[in-house]
Amino acid sequence: MLSLAELEQVARVLSAHWTGARVDKVVEPAEDALVLLLAGGEHHRPQERLPLLLCWRPRFGRVSALARTPRAPERPPALAQYLKAHLEGARLREAGLRGADRQLALHFEARDGSRTVLVLALMGPRSNLYVLERGEVLTRSARPLAKTRRDLVIGEPFRDPEPRPARVPENRFEGFGEEELLRAIEAEYAAREDREQEDRLRQRLTQAFRKQRAALGRKERSLERDAGAAEEAPRLERQGELLKANLKRARAGSTELVAEDFETGESVTVELDPKLSGSENMEQLFRRARKAMKKGVRAAQDLEALRERAEALAGLESELEALPDDDEALRAFAEGPEVRRLLDRYYPKPAAPGEERKPKKVWKLGKRELPTRLVPKRYRASGDLEIWVGKNDEGNDLLTTRLARGRDLFFHLEGSPGSHVVLRLDKGEPPQEALLEAAELAVQFSKQKNAGRAPVHVAEIKDISKPRGAKPGLVYVHRGRTLQLRRDPARLKRVLSARIDD
């Protein structure tokens, strides 16, 4: 940021060389910078131009000359639109400091005689650009006044800040001539910004790789559990065969059947669903065996591909560590397809000034696309079911009233604010362990996360309603039951590690 002495030197140069210059163009290339293209003036030919940069970015606040005028965004921000209407065609009449602090005032006069003053205040984190009209009335502010000058009000006269204790001002550009000063300032600060951008890029690359490594680790653990499901297939198949051979003994309402394994001679207990007939139980066992085998084979294939991705990621991390201390090499590395994809995933580029940044679309509900902040967290539960957890009040609303289906089970800690938790069901009854896992998450994502025991209300989604006009996340539960949960750290750790990546 320019010192008071440096800003005084800038004001002298602008006053001596560019008063009378016409504003040909106004561009806002970034949210903390404005470029005025000045042409002609009392000391320059009409074709001579100066792209004057006014920057109020903390630590890099400055007034300088660019080599060329940056391209304007397709949709100029509101401030740029306003200043284009009021300044383009106007002439710079005066440039000087105001008050006893780092405030540069540029006075412009339009063709109709109206005057506009731009006040660039370089005050560290409180730096800002103010627009004054009708004398000293503050009409616009680049940054919210609450973040810079709480004592100012739009529509009221502008007041200079209270003077700070005087210090001997530093001037790093004292040796530069008037023609060189503005370009020297830009060269110095552009180099500083480049260094900061390089440091930030390197830090983001390191963090993106770390986050991706953690995501791959979670997925690997989940796939390893799925691959282990194939080990269950022979047992389920064998039980199905035993039940088939003993169908006449399978009575309606029975919960188990004890049969002799005709190969080993051992007694085997086959668990039965009392709601199903013997033949239906047999078909269910064969179906579960086929599903377990398919799931295990698919998971084994996915594991192989996942480990290849992990190896490729480790290679990228090694490549980053070996890069020379060179910003061009770092940028070239960051533009590689896989690296660019990871950066876009974990650090999406901010919208350009004037552009409406659309939230990242990651999920569709019918024809509706959901932004990231509303997409529920998903966990793999016992029985190959899924548990969905709302991220915030709005996400709770969407999960419970739009995403969940009628038979899905709703979990919420009684009398305590927290996330809505939904156990997704297809058909049949969920395993008891899946119910306990969903209850664990309901407690974990509530204000009683450290409780050893907790009452968790469980109800079908069809028994949940939202009062008209209620605040996000508020629902009524009409039926259901209470599950007295005794917390199990091992169970909680298991289900948290089974996070499903979006």
pLDDT tens-digit map of 146-183: 999 999 999 999 999 887 765 656 888 887 877 789 88
* pLDDT, average across residues 469-487: 84
The last residue of one of the domains, among 160, 189, 214, is: 160
Residue 362 located in a structural domain: no
Question: Which pLDDT value is given to residue 142?
Answer: 95
112 and 209 in a single domain? The answer is no
Statement: residue 305 has pLDDT above 60: yes
Cα dist from 196 to 126, 204, 320, whole Å: 20, 12, 18
Question: Which pLDDT value is given to residue 454?
Answer: 93
Closest CA to 496 of 451, 425, 438: 438
Tell me what the pLDDT averaged over the chain comes to. Answer: 87
Residue 28: pLDDT band (50, 70, 90) is very high
143 and 74 in a single domain? The answer is yes
Question: Which pLDDT value is given to residue 355?
Answer: 52
9 and 152 in a single domain? The answer is yes
77 and 149 in a single domain? The answer is yes
Residues 6+ apart with CB under 8 A from 487: 440, 443, 451, 452, 453, 454
340 and 388 in a single domain? The answer is no
Residue 446 located in a structural domain: yes
- Domain count within the chain: 3
84 and 124 in a single domain? The answer is yes
Question: Which pLDDT value is given to residue 167?
Answer: 62
* pLDDT, average across residues 195-205: 90
Residue identified by tokens 């959901």 is: 370
12 and 143 in a single domain? The answer is yes
* pLDDT, average across residues 374-399: 91
* pLDDT, average across residues 192-213: 91
Residue 9 located in a structural domain: yes
More confident residue, 298 or 491: 491
Residue 178 located in a structural domain: no
256 and 377 in a single domain? The answer is no
Closest CA to 205 of 313, 328, 76, 343: 343
Residue 123: pLDDT band (50, 70, 90) is very high
Q: Poorest-confidence range of 112-116, 358-362, 390-394, 468-472?
A: 358-362
319 and 377 in a single domain? The answer is no
Residue 353 located in a structural domain: no
Residue 50 located in a structural domain: yes
The last residue of one of the domains, among 330, 345, 360, is: 345
* pLDDT, average across residues 39-43: 78
Query: What is the distance between the alpha carbons of residues 55 and 435, in angstroms, rounded to a whole number?
Result: 57
Question: Which pLDDT value is given to residue 427?
Answer: 78
Question: Which pLDDT value is given to residue 473?
Answer: 80
Q: For residue 414, give its domain range.
A: 371-500
Return the amino acid letter for 87.
Answer: L
209 and 72 in a single domain? The answer is no
431 and 385 in a single domain? The answer is yes
Closest CA to 317 of 333, 305, 332: 333
Question: Which pLDDT value is given to residue 114?
Answer: 93
Residue identified by tokens 């239906």 is: 280
Statement: residue 195 has pLDDT above 90: no
The last residue of one of the domains, among 160, 188, 217, is: 160
Helix or strand (DSSP H, E) at 485: strand 481-486
Q: Poorest-confidence range of 86-95, 112-121, 251-260, 478-487?
A: 251-260
Question: Which pLDDT value is given to residue 94?
Answer: 94
Statement: residue 502 has pLDDT above 80: no
3-state percent helix, strand, coil for the chain, nearest multiple of 5: 40, 25, 35
Statement: residue 82 has pLDDT above 80: yes
Residue 381 located in a structural domain: yes
**3-state secondary structure at position 486:** strand
Question: Which pLDDT value is given to residue 253?
Answer: 86
Question: Which pLDDT value is given to residue 386?
Answer: 95
- Residue 19 maps to which CATH number? 2.30.310.10
Statement: residue 255 has pLDDT above 80: yes
- Torsions phi, psi for 205 (to 5 deg): -60, -45
Residue 482 located in a structural domain: yes
Tokens of 309: 């991705």
* pLDDT, average across residues 57-69: 93
Residue 190: pLDDT band (50, 70, 90) is confident
Task: Using a pLDDT cut of 70, give the percent of the chain over it.
Answer: 93
b/e map 283-305, b = 16+ CB within 10 Å: ebbbebbeebbebbeebeebbee
Question: Does residue 241 contact residue 257 with C-beta atoms inside 8 Å?
Answer: no
Residue 98: pLDDT band (50, 70, 90) is very high
More confident residue, 462 or 164: 462
- What single string gives the DSSP state of each residue in 389-436? E-SSHHHHHHIIIIIS-TTSEEEEETTS-B--EEEE--SSPPPHHHHH
386 and 276 in a single domain? The answer is no
Closest CA to 104 of 179, 171, 6, 185: 6
Statement: residue 139 has pLDDT above 80: yes
Residue 368: pLDDT band (50, 70, 90) is low
